[in-house]
Structure 1
Amino acid sequence: MLTAAAVAFAVAVVSVICWFLVQGKLYDEIDSKLKGQIYTQPVDPATLRNNLNDCRAPARPGTFGQQTSPYYAQLVQSDGTTCVRSGAGTIKVTGSDRSLAKSGTAELAKYRNGTDSDGHAVRILTAHVLYQAGVPYPDIAQMVAYPLADTRSTLSELALLLLGVSGLGVIGAGAAGLWIARAGLKPVDELTEAVEHVARTEDLTVRIPVEGEDEIARLSRSFNSMTAALGESRDRQAQLIADAGHELRTPLTSLRTNIELLARSEETGRPIPPDDRKALMASVKAQMTELAALIGDLQELSRSDATHAPDTLGVVALHDIAQSALDRARLRGPELTITAELRPWYVRAEPAALERAVINVLDNAVKFSPPGGTIDVALGEGRLTVRDHGPGIPADDLPYVFERFWRSPTARSLPGSGLGLSIVARTVQQSGGDIALNPAPGGGTEAVMRIPGAATPPPEEPPAPRE
């Protein structure tokens, strides 16, 4: 509709301009013909007087006012009296004609539209009659006219033609605009249908065909990427729930068995030997600890990246975090030798999450180190390395070490949930870094954590002394 309205306005403006240009051109041609009919030679008073006395007599060759049909010709005096000089008819005199006849030299000629005595439209030229070159007679003028019937008929036909062409142009523009709008908005309709289908069925496998590089194609491509990301997120969520259920089933089953054994002992009155009871309670405690650790890992892993808002990130000292993690690792592996060389390095990260990541890496090194083994820790230029001398990780298992709930066959008998390294990888990536596990020369595993540095925070000012 907007296209049709715009085209209609443009066509209307062009048609009106065209009509007025043609009208002006036709009137210019008539005015040129009328100018050729004006008697421009000086007329002696006797001839003029004879013409006024016998205005209805046929004009003789060579005398003033000789005219031929279809032109009108007449003389007019300032009082409105006319003297017809041709047989075409009488021209109606107006006040402007009388004023020009009376004005003398004020105005030599004037063009206008008027009518004859029968009411027919004519184009009129009123001019002075010259007494001498450039000197007109006072109180008398000559009038010539040409009928406008043919001219107005031509203009009417032109108006009808322009109106018809304009109507066809508007209809064609409207049809073309409708077709273009439907063709252009077809991808939008497909996108709308796809969105409605997803909202109705929650089917995230829907994809929209993408053609071209225009805005609609970009929108379709973005929608496909969004649905793919949502589908992948939902699949990961379902996988996480399934894996979590599988991992939770083992400690819950064992915990239930132990508790049922204790309850049956109480119900039957048959006490469990003290040593067995002590071992049973230790097993229950260990399973509850493992269950709590698994739930904590799941809570940490289920946190969305969006929860790490910019205001929770800050510039922290990685060397201080590593030192704190080393102190905890020495408590967990008192029989191990842990060497450390830590150089100052500041990063932008969430302090608690980064400390948990470093502790997880050191816990893995402690867990897989042989009794009396050595763990080497070094930090320099944003590169934190933790090297143990344990059995190492098979080359076939290295691509999977950062997947959720994945555990090496050799480590499945050890405590753990299989989520620690996943949490470490996500935390390091959120800080703009990366982490890798590589076989260490001479055996064991080397964990390499790289985090870009941040501006060193300004030193804290000492508190002002109290007065």
Structure 2
Amino acid sequence: MTGLPRRLSALPLRSRLALLVATAVAVAVAAVAAACWFVTREQLEHQLDESLRSSKVDDVYLANLYAYCKGGTSQEIPPLPSVTVQLIDAQGTVCAAPGTSKLSVSAADVEVAERQRPYTLHTEKAENGADMRVFTSRLDVGRGPGAGSGNLALSIARPMSEVTDPLSTLAWVLVLVAGIGVVGAGAAGLWIARTGLRPVDDLAHAVAHVAETEDLTIRIPVEGEDEIARLSRSFNSMTSSLATSRDRQSQLIADAGHELRTPLTSLRTNIELLSRSDDTGRAIPPDDRKALMASVKAQMTELAALIGDLQELSRPDAAQPGPLQVVALHDITRTALQRARLRGPELTVNAELAPWYVRAEPAALERAVVNVLDNAVKFSPPRGTIDVALHRGELTVRDHGPGIPAEELPHVFDRFWRSRSARQLPGSGLGLSIVARTVQQAGGEITLSPADGGGTVASIRLPGAPQPPPEV
């Protein structure tokens, strides 16, 4: 039994559909044909039985037949057209006209002759082997010429060929019609399968083309609103997303290479100067050597920060947030402010933090707040002021630096993008990109806008509540 499903699964989908359609039609046609044949047989047999019940035999013919059976006459008795007639007595003796093929006598026929039942209807074989439908009823003797006394039964029979011949013809007609129907259904099913699966073929060719050429620009025409159309739209959306992802990946690699080149070049230059000094024996003045070592350390720090940011953006779970927890945004901000004050000890940081609890990944949210404060520290002038406020879920960080030109604001969250005023400062251009992703994963939003009187205002809005939920 397992071989047939295996063989079916090896067929093409259109062939399987055509075969299933043909099979379904064959079963339906066979059921209808069988029902038609049986109903017709019942009707024909019923009509034959009614015809036998209503058949009348002439009294003169019966008298002559009775006289012939008793040996009282030698007159030739011609057979009746289309029916066979015979007499049966209580002993089961049969008398039929000369030249008539006698019918077999059943026990029911004898019971009719003995007056135990009024009539019987059954099928018997004649002497010539033909199947006959027989109707046997009581016969009252003494009603015709030459009639005597005694109990007799009259059997009237007609050939079953009146039923079987039309049924045979009907069976052949049904077989022919069913065969034509099944073949036509198979051909129609194959045509429908080919027509209906043409979009699937286009999709298969497109997938094979993408697999061979890695060309993600291919698109499948979409027509209608059926399942095939939705599948085509999904494929087009998938290839578009893959193309966008590949472009972003290529851009990330190119941007990362460009950003890594600058600190590596500076680092290599400084190391070559130190190495050349050792090779030539020409000592570098202590102040210059100290400056070179400081530059090397700064470049190493910048390189390490850049690599850390790249790892943060490229880790497999970067697009999915970690376990969300209820955290106190005001506490996270206070911790971040402590780190910011260490990085800008000469700056004045004013903070007003109202309680606010949010659902977020604690480590990622703290990193985002630290990045925003680091930007404020980086762009603040010496002995400048940074204003930090948290009110009803909105965290604002305002610096008094040079600000961001209006035409550059749409790009501040792009990876590796840095404004003209920031290109001389350390940094990779990835901090705000990481901040934006973290805030969006927590269900919030971040904006940067020019501040009144100069500087920039970073606003982070996160959904939450001023009180922790009961389970915390």
Interval of TM-score (by shorter of Structure 1 and Structure 2): 0.7 to 0.9
Q: How many aligned positions are there?
A: 445
Distance 1:138 1:175, change over 3 A: farther
The correspondence of residues 70-109 of structure 1 with structure 2, limited to 5 A, is 70-84=82-96, 89-101=100-112, 104-105=115-116, 107-109=117-119
Distance 2:393 2:206 in 1: 47
Q: Return closer, same or farther for 1:362/1:130 CA change in 2, 3 Å cut-off.
A: farther
Which stretches in structure 2 are left out of the alignment for 5+ residues? Answer: 1-18, 143-148
Deviates more, 1:229-238 or 1:121-130: 121-130
1:121 maps to: 131
1:366 equivalent in structure 2: 377
- Is the deviation greater in 19-28 or in 288-297? 19-28
Alignment counterpart, residue 392 of structure 1, candidates 403, 416, 436: 403
Structure 2: which amino acid aligns with 1:53?
Answer: K
1:174 to 2:186 alignment? yes
* CA root-mean-square deviation: 2.8
Give yes or no for contact 1:104–1:138 (8 Å, CA) kept in 2. no
- Pairing of 1:226-265 with structure 2 (within 5 A): 226-265=238-277
SS at match of 2:218: coil
Residue number in structure 2 paired with 1:36: 54
Distance in 2 (alpha carbons) for counterparts of 1:241 and 1:273:
40
Partner of 1:214: 226
- After superposition, the C-alpha distances for 1:124-174 in whole angstroms (9 at most, x for unaligned) are 211222479xxxx98531100123434432222111111100000010111
Percent identical among aligned pairs is 60
Q: State the match for 1:352 in structure 2.
A: 363
1:364/1:103 CA distance change after superposition, 3 Å: farther
Q: Which runs of 5+ in 1 are unaligned?
A: 61-65, 461-467
Deviation at 1:76, TM superposition (A): 1.1
Aligned amino acid, residue 453 of structure 2? G
Question: In structure 1, how many angstroms separate the alpha carbons of the residues matched to 2:169 and 2:273?
Answer: 111
Give the partner amino acid of 2:103.
K
The whole-number CA distance in structure 2 between the counterparts of 1:96 and 1:205 is 90
1:195 — aligned with what? 207
CA distance in 1 between partners of 2:172 and 2:437 (Å): 77
Judging changes above 3 Å, is the alpha-carbon distance between structure 1 residues 81 and 103 closer, same or farther for their aligned structure 2 residues?
closer
Q: Give me the whole-angstrom Cα distance separating, in 1, the residues matched to 2:380 and 2:471.
A: 39
Asked whether 1:300 is paired with 2:312, we answer: yes
| Equivalent residue for 1:334, pick from 345, 348, 351 | 345
What secondary structure, in the 3-state scheme, does the structure 2 residue paired with 1:397 have? helix
Deviation at 1:185, TM superposition (A): 2.4
Verify: 1:53 aligned to 2:70, yes or no.
yes
Contact 1:126-1:143 at 8 Å conserved across structures: yes
Q: Which residue of 2 aligns with 1:23?
A: 41
Q: Which residue of 2 aligns with 1:415?
A: 426
CA offsets, 1:247-302, max 9 Å, x none?
A: 11011111101100111111111101111111111111111111111111111121
Letter in 1 for 2:204: T
Shift of 1:57: 6.2
Partner of 1:163: 175
Secondary structure of 1:174's aligned partner:
helix
1:129-148 aligned at under 5 Å gives the runs 129-130=139-140, 140-148=152-160
Q: Would the alpha carbon gap of residues 378 and 88 (structure 1) be closer, same or farther in structure 2, given more than 3 Å must change?
A: farther
Q: TM-score, normalised by structure 2?
A: 0.87
* 1:330-374 deviations in Å (ceiling 9; x for gaps): 122222221111111111211111111101111111111222222
